[in-house]
Chain A
Amino acid sequence: MEIQLTRFLCETRFQGQPMGTRHFAKVCEALSSADQGETIHLDFGGAEVLTGSWISAMLIQLLRWAANPEIELFFVLCNIQDNDFIDELGYVANHARVVFLVASGNASSASAIVVGPLEPGQRETLSAVVKAGQVTGAELERLYSASSVKATAWNNRLKDLHNKRLLKRNKLGREQVYRPVVPEISCDG
């Protein structure tokens, strides 16, 4: 599913907490028809302004809401041309300890960068999942047997990355199988 924000919200200046709060409600309403586990592309094409207060009132709330197991949605921000917007996303993400997945281009892009803080172990795990395509914690223990990380620790990291909306998962037997939201994900900076 793709939402062209400037068209859907009839706005090109995404600024201020009140506007962010209203946009959050409107986007949630539009997502009522989305399927659980679906990836939602939020297209910022045409946006002129993007401020921290809007990001915190709209995007961060959206991520929190989407992490609810009954909702379970994933977001990729796309068509962000302005580097200032990336800087602003990164600044707020660092403060709020969240991450945003930003596509390199439009919704059809197969690659994205993570904007926001990830711990070294989470980076290592994300990189391993991207490389494997889809994987379980037990498989990661086998694949990286030289490291001291056990399946339980891999699973904890995978769960954290799932909560951060970077990995999707589905249950296969007794195990959770994880895969990246987009095929190629790299971490910024």
Chain B
Amino acid sequence: MAIDVLTVSDIEQIQLAAQNERPVRSFIQGLRKASLPAIIEYGCLRWSHPSLKLPDLPDAIGNSPLGLALKEVRSELGLRTNGPDGATWDRIDPRDYGFFVLNDEAHLESTRWKLFETVYNRSSAKAGFSEKVASQLSVALHEMAANASTHALSSIPALVGFWVCDGLSLFTVADVGIGVYESLRKHPAYAHIDTHAEAIRFALRDGVSSVDPGQRGFGFREVFKAILTCYGRLRFRSGTGCIDMSGADLDADRGTKTFPPHLPGFQVSVCCRCRALKTA
């Protein structure tokens, strides 16, 4: 990975450095590109930790195709917080990037959201994924967005974004709500969970739900189904927990558990490749 590309690992390092009052501005200003999950997590970090006074991302990122697509929407977690929401979603042509600001559950049944999902579906198909996998990816995106709108209890809307290019399809759903730990602990069946990472692991299991354990909680299954037939990575970050999983092993209990600095809400990134990366 080039050093001038902002990644999710950088977000964690920036947060740690800034919280320890070490300078981060020159590092950020030197960035030239950003990954989709990183640009959204940076937005989450800036919104949730205003005291860190993190700077805007440099123009090189803001004016990149990813940055310009993100500027189409007005979001506290994005690059623009005022003006009209410019993402119209009135066409179903495939595109490389797309963002959607998800206000609530009702929004998931709006024509605009359905077009957004359709565009993501078609974009994945155009990028080389089979129709079935492209559809599974858009279903997975829907499930994660539905999850955010139901459980996040956030004061600001969730941000959903996708990035699709040849052989690759990636989406991120991020909210800054109560997070997985607090959400699960609302139900007495999960009172024993004592860390954010453990809460994420539990939530990834089928039938785990703060609403109705055993009877609900099947949303992540769609994510796993989507990634099963291709090469991919999953990242789930919430509070002080993070689980990274490779598409080769979808057992949440064997995912890599890390303990990043606290970030409110839940940030999910799903990255699929329809071909394996060439190894040296």
Chain A residues at the B interface, C-beta cutoff of 8 Å: 13, 15-19, 22, 48-49, 51-53, 55-57, 60, 91-92, 95-97
Judge whether A15 and B143 touch: CB under 8 Å: yes
Alpha-carbon distance A16/B109, docked complex (angstroms): 10
Q: From known contacts A17-B146, A18-B150, infer whether A96 and B135 are also in contact, taking CB-CB under 8 Å.
A: no
B interface, by DSSP: helix, strand, loop or mixed?
Answer: helix
Alpha-carbon distance A106/B146, docked complex (angstroms): 31
Q: Which residues of B contact A13 (CB under 8 A)?
A: 139, 142
Q: From known contacts A17-B146, A49-B139, infer whether A55 and B218 are also in contact, taking CB-CB under 8 Å.
A: yes
Q: Which residues of A contact B147 (CB under 8 A)?
A: 17
Q: Which residues of A contact B145 (CB under 8 A)?
A: 16
Q: List the 3 closest pairs (A to B, CB-CB), nearest first.
A: A52-B218, A16-B146, A18-B105
Please tell me if B215 contacts chain A, counting CB pairs below 8 Å.
yes
Judge whether A18 and B108 touch: CB under 8 Å: yes
Q: Which residues of B contact A52 (CB under 8 A)?
A: 206, 218-219, 221-222
Chain B nearest Cβ from A91, distance in angstroms: 8
> Which residue of chain B has the shortest Cβ distance to A97 in the bound complex?
B214
> Which residue of chain A has the shortest Cβ distance to B136 in the bound complex?
A49
Judge whether A19 and B108 touch: CB under 8 Å: yes
Q: From known contacts A15-B143, A18-B146, infer whether A56 and B218 are also in contact, taking CB-CB under 8 Å.
A: yes
Chain B residues at the A interface, C-beta cutoff of 8 Å: 105-106, 108-109, 135, 139, 142-143, 145-147, 149-150, 206-207, 212, 214-219, 221-222
Q: Which residues of A contact B108 (CB under 8 A)?
A: 16, 18-19
Residue with the highest number of chain B CB atoms closer than 10 Å, among A16, A49, A56 = A16
Alpha-carbon distance A22/B221, docked complex (angstroms): 21
Judge whether A16 and B218 touch: CB under 8 Å: no
Judge whether B143 and A16 touch: CB under 8 Å: yes
> Which residue of chain A has the shortest Cβ distance to B135 in the bound complex?
A49
Judge whether B143 and A51 touch: CB under 8 Å: yes
Among B105, B106, B149, B218, which residue has its beta carbon within 8 angstroms of that of A53?
B218
Q: Which residues of A contact B219 (CB under 8 A)?
A: 16-17, 51-53
Alpha-carbon distance A17/B216, docked complex (angstroms): 8
Chain A nearest Cβ from B265, distance in angstroms: 18
Alpha-carbon distance A22/B214, docked complex (angstroms): 20
Judge whether A56 and B105 touch: CB under 8 Å: no
The 15 sampled A-B contact pairs (Cβ below 8 Å) are: A15-B222, A16-B142, A18-B149, A22-B109, A49-B135, A51-B219, A52-B206, A52-B221, A53-B218, A56-B215, A56-B216, A57-B216, A92-B218, A95-B207, A96-B215
Chain B nearest Cβ from A178, distance in angstroms: 27
Judge whether B214 and A95 touch: CB under 8 Å: yes
Alpha-carbon distance A96/B143, docked complex (angstroms): 19
Chain B nearest Cβ from A124, distance in angstroms: 26
Chain A nearest Cβ from B23, distance in angstroms: 44
Q: Which residues of B contact A16 (CB under 8 A)?
A: 108, 142-143, 145-146, 219
Alpha-carbon distance A13/B120, docked complex (angstroms): 15
Q: Which residues of A contact B215 (CB under 8 A)?
A: 56, 60, 95-96
Chain B nearest Cβ from A165, distance in angstroms: 16
Chain A nearest Cβ from B270, distance in angstroms: 15
Judge whether A96 and B146 touch: CB under 8 Å: no
Q: Which residues of B contact A91 (CB under 8 A)?
A: 206, 218, 221
Q: Which residues of B contact A97 (CB under 8 A)?
A: 214
Alpha-carbon distance A53/B212, docked complex (angstroms): 12
Chain B nearest Cβ from A87, distance in angstroms: 10
